[in-house]
Amino acid sequence: MQKRLYSIMLSILLFAALVFAQSKGGRWQFENNGFDTADWDAAEDTGALQPGAVFGSQPPLMEGVAYLLLDTTAFHDFFKVDDSNDLDFHNENIGISAWIYPYVLNDVHFLVNKGVQNANPKTTNYALRIATNKKLEFLIRDANNQAKKVTSSFTIPENSWTFVAAFYDFTAGLVYMWNDPTGAPVDTLPFTQDLLPNNDPLAIGSWFRNDPNSPSIKDFNGRMDDVRISGRREDIFPASTGIATRHPGNSGQSSLTADIFPNPLSLSRNSSPVSIRVNGAVGGTFTIRIFNLLGQKVLEQRQYLSQGSTVFRWNLRDARGNAAPPGMYFAAIEKSSGMIVRKFLIIR
Q: Kindly list the distances between the CA atom of residue 282 and the CA atoms of 177, 198, 271, 279, 289, in Å, as whole numbers in the listed order.
A: 29, 45, 33, 9, 20
Distance CA 172, CA 227 (A): 25
Say if residue 265's pLDDT is above 90.
Answer: no
**pLDDT given for residue 54 in this prediction:** 95
Domain positions in the chain are: 2-14+243-347, 23-236
Average pLDDT over residues 102-130: 97
Average pLDDT over residues 250-260: 58
| Contact (Cβ atoms closer than 8 angstroms) between residue 193 and residue 142 | yes
Average pLDDT over residues 194-212: 96
**pLDDT given for residue 224 in this prediction:** 98
**pLDDT given for residue 285 in this prediction:** 80
Please state which of the ranges 20-29, 101-110, 235-244, 245-254 shows the lowest mean pLDDT.
245-254
Strands 338-347 and 265-266: parallel
Say if residue 109's pLDDT is above 70.
Answer: yes
More confident residue, 54 or 254: 54
In which region does residue 212 sit, left (phi positive, over 0), alpha (psi from -120 to 50) or beta (all else)? alpha
**pLDDT given for residue 253 in this prediction:** 40
| Contact (Cβ atoms closer than 8 angstroms) between residue 34 and residue 47 | yes
Say if residue 221's pLDDT is above 70.
Answer: yes
**pLDDT given for residue 307 in this prediction:** 63
| Class of the CATH domain delimited by 23-236 | mainly beta
| Class of the CATH domain delimited by 2-14+243-347 | mainly beta
The secondary structure of 172-199 as a DSSP string is TTEEEEES-TTS--SEEEE--------S
Distance CA 11, CA 9 (A): 5
**pLDDT given for residue 282 in this prediction:** 62
Average pLDDT over residues 310-328: 87
**Structure confidence by residue, pLDDT tens digits, 186-197:** 999 999 999 999
pTM of the model: 0.69
Alpha helices, DSSP H, located in the chain: 2-20
Average pLDDT, rounded, for the chain: 85
The secondary structure of 107-141 as a DSSP string is S-EEEEEES-SSSSS---S-EEEE-TTSEEEEEEE
Please state which of the ranges 48-52, 156-160, 201-205 shows the lowest mean pLDDT.
48-52
The dihedral sign for the CA sequence 56, 57, 60, 62: positive
